[in-house]
Amino acid sequence: ERGLEHNAQGVVCSLFDEVVKNLVMMRNGGDEQDTEYSENVAKILVDSFDASSLSSLFGYLPSIKSFLDGIAVKRTSFVESNLMHWQLVFLLTRFINALLRANRPIMLILDDLQWSDELTIELVLGDILEAVFDGKGGCNFLFAGVYRDDNMSNEHPLSAKLSNLRQSQSVHVTDIDLSSFTKRDVSEIIANELRLPSRVVSELGDIVHKKTSGHIFYAVELLNALVRDSTMYFSSKTRRFQWCWEKICSLKTSDSVAQFMVSTFSTLEPEVLQMLRLLSCFGLHTDVDVLDILDASCVAPFDGIRTPVQNLSDLGFIEVAGGLVTFTHDLIQQHVYESIELEQRRTFHIEIGLFLGWKVSTSRTSSDASSLEGAVGKMYISESKSQGSVITERSLLSIATDHINHAGPEFVEQSERKSFAVWNL
């Protein structure tokens, strides 16, 4: 507990020490107004703190020494235990109020608050900010907290603190929801930048949206990269921008986009998430025909696999081409698979393995065919032929065996272990 408290205090002190470093840079930057402002802040700080308090502030914010260079202060020892916490709150609150007295608005931004621990949130959003606003010093102060709500539950300490702040009489809270851009949004941005009609860039907008999951930062980053490597270029002949469609379609999803997509899993519909988990059990890719066979199994979404697969493709998690369903990035597959609880993961593997094995057994006893196709119907035969591949009993049995081996033979019923032993031969 004490270790966590010290860590939270270290994070907050580091934040405000950066503010002091900025003041030092302003003083030495050569801008007359910035120099005047920083010198004014230094005078106010000296007037606001006695020697003992200023000495203690040195311990929390080391850059204060260089900012107040030439001012002699008396060193004092740190206060321990609970008094140290309230000493820090008192000193930082007075420090912020001193900055605000210099008549220049202050904006403080904290990103990724969803990863903050409870003590840090309580220290920043609770004790320090509430003390600043309660002291009537918050009129020139704007705090911007950035967080991903899809990474938070109602029990998250930030959720509770935000709820309290919204009910506060002294703090005005404004929520700004920054959702991902739609395909139409991305297409309109591209059309405006390239000075082309929306109908011309519609397909380009779709693929950029898919490759970036609608995140505008990654969309701009991707478009800039396309221009840099001349995949997108201005043609003097046509007097407009053109692009190599084949190169753009073959682009792989970047690590940054994959990590962003991983953070959005909790927003997926249950059946879409179930389909994503099912796919992850096969590794990076699996055969479309195998998924069609599993459509009748208990591990498939209730309404079938077609719609969830299409949704995942539209969202950029997977690609469907050449008879294969492939994850757009190995990080996505890895995170999905590892997020499945061990028992559920074993259940997926067992159910997939036994169902596919049962299909092979059914095909072998079928009176109308001696191959798998006779068991699964004409739909699978026509699809696999049109895609240039036919699933054989041997390949399907190999897939079934791999899944059961992943779960562990001990999870196979005693009566079925003999059949499983034969499959492994």
Long-range residue pairs from 239-242, CB within 8 A, at least 24 positions apart, any chain: 240/194, 240/195, 240/196, 241/194, 241/196
Q: What residues contact 205, with CB distance under 8 A and at least 6 apart?
A: 183, 184, 186, 187, 188, 189, 190, 191
- Among residues 304, 305, 419, 287, the alpha carbon closest in space to that of 362 is found at 419
Tens digits of residue pLDDT in 38-49: 888 888 888 888
What value does the mean pLDDT take over residues 252-260? Answer: 75
- Beta partners for residue 320, in sequence order: 325
For residue 226, pLDDT over 70 is answered with yes
Three-state secondary structure along 328-393? Answer: CCHHHHHHHHHHCCHHHHHHHHHHHHHHHHHHHHHHHHCCCCCCHHHHHCHHHHHHHHHCCCCCCH
For residue 65, pLDDT over 90 is answered with no
78: confidence class by pLDDT, cuts 50, 70, 90: very low
Q: What residues contact 5, with CB distance under 8 A and at least 6 apart?
A: 85, 119
Please check whether residue 267 is in contact with residue 251, taking contact to mean a CB–CB distance below 8 angstroms: no
138: confidence class by pLDDT, cuts 50, 70, 90: low
Residue with tokens 């040195």: 58
386: confidence class by pLDDT, cuts 50, 70, 90: very low
Q: What residues contact 164, with CB distance under 8 A and at least 6 apart?
A: 126
For residue 396, pLDDT over 90 is answered with no
Tens digits of residue pLDDT in 79-99: 444 456 677 778 888 888 888
In the chain, the percentage of residues whose pLDDT exceeds 70 is 80
For residues 8 and 421, what is the distance between their CA atoms, to the nearest angstrom? 56
For residues 397 and 385, what is the distance between their CA atoms, to the nearest angstrom? 20
Token reading at 130:
């509430």
Tens digits of residue pLDDT in 244-255: 988 888 877 777
148: confidence class by pLDDT, cuts 50, 70, 90: confident
Q: What residues contact 222, with CB distance under 8 A and at least 6 apart?
A: 208, 211, 212, 251, 254
In the chain, the percentage of residues whose pLDDT exceeds 90 is 10
